[in-house]
Amino acid sequence: MTPTAPRDVAVVGFAHARHTESTFGTTNGVEMLAPVFAECYRQTGLDRTDIEFWCSGSSDYLAGRAFSFISAVDTIGAVPPISESHVEMDAAWAFFEAYLKIASGQADTALVYGFGKASASTDLDSALALQLDPYTVAPLWPGRHHMAALQARAGIDAGCWSEAEMASVAARATGRDERDLLVEPYTADPLRRHDCPPVTDGAGAIILASGKRARELVDTPAYVTGIEHIADSAEFGARDLTDSPSARAAAVRATRSSGPRPDLGGVTVAELHTQYTHQELLLRRALGIDDSVAVTPSGGSLVADPLFSAGLERIGYAAHSIWEGRAERALAHATSGHLLQQNLICLLEGRPA
């Protein structure tokens, strides 16, 4: 039997909650998600009964209770019954699952959402340390900024980037003067406050549709032309912290490149999920992104870092650049785990009607 080619899949709707240091809502995300869903319905003309598959990304560890994602389903409603799935990581990976669902012909529409209330955690470092090796690293309970400082220092010592270059990334994202940033005290040497992500509560959602359905819903669908995710070793001593071979390999596959490096021809916007300034510099080197590409014009995680939806937002903002006509081809990147351990690359493009 000849295998059937995957169907076209496109992003047709995107919204996120207002980024805030703290929200009054509960850790199940319902209060944040309800208006986000409503905005996605408004953009596409769909309602909840038109969605054939739902997939979410969140963390029970962050919420502090088991099966917290089930409570979030209250945002959808119990009747009629739905087809639903969940990933215990950033919702960009829920996006990947929904993409496969539509590409394989099992659904025509899907709504993907992610949420996290980081402000509710009394010890965010300890919650995030649970992602680390349970035998050799997690028992040490290292802070997230201190872990990132090891990577930043390794890159500085290797001549891959400098503190001034890191400050330049922050200045572009925040609009502050680079000279002012370089005189701030260290948070975790060599990281200063502007090099690190802020604690952010947030939620985001994306609606996906099959090619034919997408053209019925919006004027300019953002078609997914390539998507892949690959993980590096979770053992930090087993990899070079100044490089990201998994991100590069994922980009090679997503762009269907023939060589060892991704062909980013035509990409004019790259939304990178980089929580620390040096990680943008690292990914630009790994992916071969030059100055002709607008990197994370949304500001990214240096401005707001809603855990478990920040990666999904990068895909949404990349799609938004296509809808607005600022790009014909855009790249989105999402990461999960510490120090760019897992990486997802999604390539989007607009097509004339």
Q: How confident is the model at residue 72 (pLDDT cuts 50, 70, 90)?
A: confident
* Mean pLDDT of the region 207-223: 96
Indicate if the pLDDT at residue 323 is higher than 70. Answer: yes
Q: How confident is the model at residue 6 (pLDDT cuts 50, 70, 90)?
A: confident
* Mean pLDDT of the region 287-303: 97
Rounded Cα distance, 131 and 61, in Å: 10
Q: How confident is the model at residue 4 (pLDDT cuts 50, 70, 90)?
A: low
Indicate if the pLDDT at residue 1 is higher than 50. Answer: no
Burial of 1 (0-12, 13-18, 19+ CB in 10 A): exposed
Q: How confident is the model at residue 61 (pLDDT cuts 50, 70, 90)?
A: confident
Indicate if the pLDDT at residue 79 is higher than 90. Answer: no
Indicate if the pLDDT at residue 122 is higher than 80. Answer: no
Q: Do residues 65 and 82 touch, judged by C-beta distance below 8 A?
A: no
- What is this structure's pTM? 0.96
* Mean pLDDT of the region 45-59: 96
Q: How confident is the model at residue 58 (pLDDT cuts 50, 70, 90)?
A: very high
The mean predicted confidence, pLDDT, of the chain is 94
pLDDT the model gives residue 63: 82
pLDDT the model gives residue 3: 54
Rounded Cα distance, 248 and 231, in Å: 11
Per-residue pLDDT tens over the stretch 128-145: 999 999 999 999 999 999
Rounded Cα distance, 312 and 97, in Å: 12
pLDDT the model gives residue 174: 93
